[in-house]
Amino acid sequence: MSSKRKWDQATPELDSELPSKATKTDETKTASEAAATAAAIAAKIAAQFANGGTGGGGKDPYDGEFTHDIDINDLRNRYLLTKGSTQQQIHEETGASVSTKGTWYPDRSKATDRDPPLYLHIAANTQEILQGAIVKVRDLIDMDLGSLVEDKKDRQRERRKWPEEKLPVGLESIRNFNVRAKVVGPSGVFVKYIQQETQTRVQIKGIGSGFVDQETGREADEPMYIHVTGPDEQQVARAKALTEDLLEVVRAEHAKVKAVVQQQQMELHQAQLQYAAYSAYVCITLLI
């Protein structure tokens, strides 16, 4: 263990949740989701060059007299539909142009009118050609992905074989002390430090953690805890030791802040009692 730990350094007070959007995205995005995003970008670039476009202004090369949009943001096989080879095949078989539009959102409620959820834009010179392309896309949407789902389950089972540790935080947020913020450190520096030192994955989960489970779409219904996992038992053990050391420091700081808060509450309560007694005395005096 290094003589100077990240959490021994003086840090500013953190009274709000730390921004961790990018980290969460990287940690929770599955392989199929990453592939969908990459394929969508590749399809757009390939389409531009295929039509001699430069990506600049002017008319969209995929616009036609007859058009139709199909929302694919929440489809399991969206990665297949956004592949350039798939869209080229549809074009060759039907004569219609297919392009990827919008942005993939794990949470589509964050989409805007200016940047809508992921969708396919189909354009054709006749209604018959357009309808043929729509039918082709619908067939791909309905394609059985059983084998791909099974592969995902296999990867999940493989990941669960890794050694892991679960360390309860055991603290509640109080005024001027955000537990999650104190544990992760400024910009997540404490958690990143443990991960870099041990080559493990360290995640804060549970109530108030901000970690959303992909299967349930919400936080784990249990008190906040730190989950450590990695391919090597010694690495996980090392990460556990550093995490316990970090929690010890955070708990000591929490105890100090809690004592101050309790003292302030006691003084406020005494002041309220004194004011009530004084008000009663004044009332009695006036009645006499």
Tens digit of each residue's pLDDT (9 = 90 or more) over 142-180: 876 554 444 555 555 555 578 889 999 988 888 878 888
Sheet strands (E) in 161-273: 164-168, 201-205, 225-229
At 221, is the pLDDT very low, low, confident or very high (cuts 50, 70, 90)?
confident
Cβ neighbours of residue 67 closer than 8 Å, sequence gap 6 or more: 121, 122, 123, 124, 130
- Distance in angstroms (rounded) separating the CA atoms of residues 45 and 121: 15
- Distance in angstroms (rounded) separating the CA atoms of residues 275 and 282: 10
Beta bridge partners of 227: 166, 203
Lowest pLDDT segment from 14-18, 131-135, 203-207, 235-239: 14-18
Tens digit of each residue's pLDDT (9 = 90 or more) over 187-201: 888 999 999 999 899
Q: What is the pTM of this model?
A: 0.42
Nearest to 202 by CA among 172, 171, 235: 235
Lowest pLDDT segment from 32-41, 109-118, 146-155: 146-155
Domains in the chain with CATH codes: 26-149 (3.30.1370.10), 163-281 (3.30.1370.10)
119 membership: H or E segment, kind and range: strand 119-124
How large a percentage of the chain has pLDDT more than 70?
72
The token pair at 67 is: 């058009």
Count of Cβ atoms closer than 10 Å to residue 140 Cβ: 16
Cβ neighbours of residue 52 closer than 8 Å, sequence gap 6 or more: 61
- Distance in angstroms (rounded) separating the CA atoms of residues 242 and 155: 28
pLDDT value, residue 272: 80
Tell which wins on pLDDT, 284 or 117. 117
Asked whether the predicted pLDDT for residue 31 surpasses 80, the reply is no
Residue with tokens 């869209």: 87
